[in-house]
């Protein structure tokens, strides 16, 4: 029997760990979204959180193209998606193109941390969205050159990813059984000691 949206959400939650922020454990990457628009005020709150993300020299190199469903910009983003991605990603009411300026503003020198900082901003975005009851998913299956051209993205900005944003949808409505199986599968992560394991790094119980 197919799982409901609420059952999937429960399945995707990471086990509770005392002292760990609940929003970190609650965040998961959804593949299907409800036919429900995200209010502009909710989107603004997400980016208010994003702008406080840490960055090298406080450069804040991240920039975002935020497109709502049925807009011309949204259609251009969907058009640049690769085939497997498009059927589910195009159900999201909001698409966010994540960009980073590749040079420091103060002297024009290369910023080697621009993608690192963009990733940090993207994480803030996803955690804040989760706290607001929304779902997100990061996708890299895009034709970057096509996206750059269609959105007139300057050459001194690198394209990181596209983040889908919206309210969780019913997994039974996914366009294929394969996608539904992925959406309803449990999550797994490496152990802490696998992540903290270089040289004489600390070991945990």
Q: Would you state the structure tokens that stand for residue 68, as one six-digit string? A: 């709502």
Average pLDDT, the chain: 93
Q: What is the pLDDT of residues 137-183, one digit of tens each?
A: 999 999 999 999 999 999 999 999 999 999 999 887 777 777 777 88
CA atoms within 13 A on the CB side of 8: 23
Q: Which residues, other chains included, contact 139 with Cβ-Cβ below 8 Å and sequence gap of 6+?
A: 81, 85, 89, 161, 162, 163, 164
Asked if residues 53 and 118 have their Cβ atoms less than 8 Å apart, the reply is: no
Task: Read off the tokens for 58.
Answer: 């406080």
Per-domain residue ranges of the chain:
33-176
Please provide the DSSP assignment of 93-147 as one string: SEEEEEEEESB-TTT--B-TTHHHHHHHHHHHHHHHHHHTT-EEEEE--B-HHHH
Give the per-residue pLDDT at 2. Answer: 74
Nearest residue to 124 (alpha-carbon basis) of 73, 53, 195: 53
Question: How large is the C-alpha radius of gyration of the chain?
Answer: 18
Q: Give mean pLDDT, residues 78-104.
A: 95
Q: Is the pLDDT higher at 175 or at 108?
A: 108
Own/partner pairs, 44-50, CB within 8 angstroms, 24+ separation: 45/128, 45/132, 46/125, 46/128, 46/129, 46/132, 46/134, 46/165, 47/125, 49/124, 49/125, 49/127, 49/128, 50/121, 50/124, 50/125, 50/128
pLDDT at 82: 94
| pLDDT tier for residue 26 given thresholds of 50, 70 and 90 | very high
CATH classification (class only), 33-176: alpha beta
Q: Which residues pair with 99 in a beta bridge?
A: 63, 159
Does the pLDDT value for residue 1 go beyond 70? no
Q: What percent of the chain has pLDDT over 70?
A: 99
C-alpha dist (Å) from residue 20 to 14, 23, 25, 156, 195: 11, 9, 8, 38, 17
State the pLDDT confidence band at 39, using cuts at 50, 70 and 90: very high
Predicted local distance difference test score (pLDDT) of residue 205 = 76
């Amino acid at each position: 029997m197919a799982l409901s949206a609420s059952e999937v959400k429960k399945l995707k939650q990471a086990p509770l760990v005392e002292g760990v922020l609940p929003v970190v454990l609650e965040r998961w990457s959804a593949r299907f979204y409800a036919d429900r628009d995200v209010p502009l005020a909710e989107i603004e709150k997400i980016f208010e959180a994003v702008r406080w993300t840490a960055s090298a020299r406080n450069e804040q190199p991240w920039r975002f193209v935020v497109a709502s469903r049925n807009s011309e910009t949204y259609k251009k983003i969907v058009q640049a998606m690769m085939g497997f991605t498009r059927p589910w990603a195009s159900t999201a009411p909001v698409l966010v193109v994540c960009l980073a300026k590749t040079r420091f503003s103060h002297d024009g020198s290369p910023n080697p941390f621009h993608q690192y900082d963009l990733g940090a901003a993207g994480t803030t975005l996803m955690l804040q969205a989760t706290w607001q009851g929304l779902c997100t998913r990061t996708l890299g299956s895009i034709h970057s050159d096509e996206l750059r051209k269609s959105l007139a993205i300057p050459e001194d900005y690198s394209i990181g990813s596209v983040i889908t944003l919206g309210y969780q949808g019913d997994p039974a409505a996914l366009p294929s059984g394969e996608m539904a199986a992925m959406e309803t599968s449990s999550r797994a992560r490496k152990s802490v000691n696998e992540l903290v394991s270089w040289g004489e790094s600390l070991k945990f119980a």
